[in-house]
Amino acid sequence: MINAAHIILYSTKPEADRVFIRDVLGLSGIDAGDGWLIFKLPPAEIAVHPTDMVGKHEFYFMCDDIEKTLTELTAKGVIISEPIIHHSWGNLAFIKLPSGAELAIYQPHHPTAYNIEG
């Protein structure tokens, strides 16, 4: 049965983005060879949303307090590319990777599945 998930972020500056994920976001990982870092993620969940278009995939880092998280990240020099947007389902913001790509930071207002057992 499925025992994990592997998420790929494509980057024009992979080395810089890997250092950012390791040193700024503080994720631990392994060197899979030749400096190819693979990071351990916090608990995760997956949701399937309806669409009339061909499906796409999105990735969000989740947090309990988005304002505190963004304050901590900006103190480390992280650029917030889109400030907090308050939705009924949660708060959402985007930060910049060194490559210029964006990562979403999300504070859900709904129950989450990542901490259920089983």
pLDDT at 53: 86
Q: Is residue 78 part of a domain?
A: yes
pTM of the model: 0.86
pLDDT tens digit sequence for 9-64: 999 999 999 999 999 999 999 998 888 899 999 888 888 888 888 878 889 999 99
Q: Is residue 41 part of a domain?
A: yes
pLDDT at 111: 84
What are the beta bridge partners of residue 61? 105
**CATH assignment of the domain containing 30:** 3.10.180.10
pLDDT at 116: 77
Share of the chain above pLDDT 90, in %: 66
The domain in which residue 73 lies consists of 14-108
Percent helix, strand, coil in the chain (nearest 5)? 20, 25, 55
pLDDT at 68: 97
Burial (0-12, 13-18, 19+ Cβ within 10 Å), 68: exposed
Count of domains in the chain?
A: 1
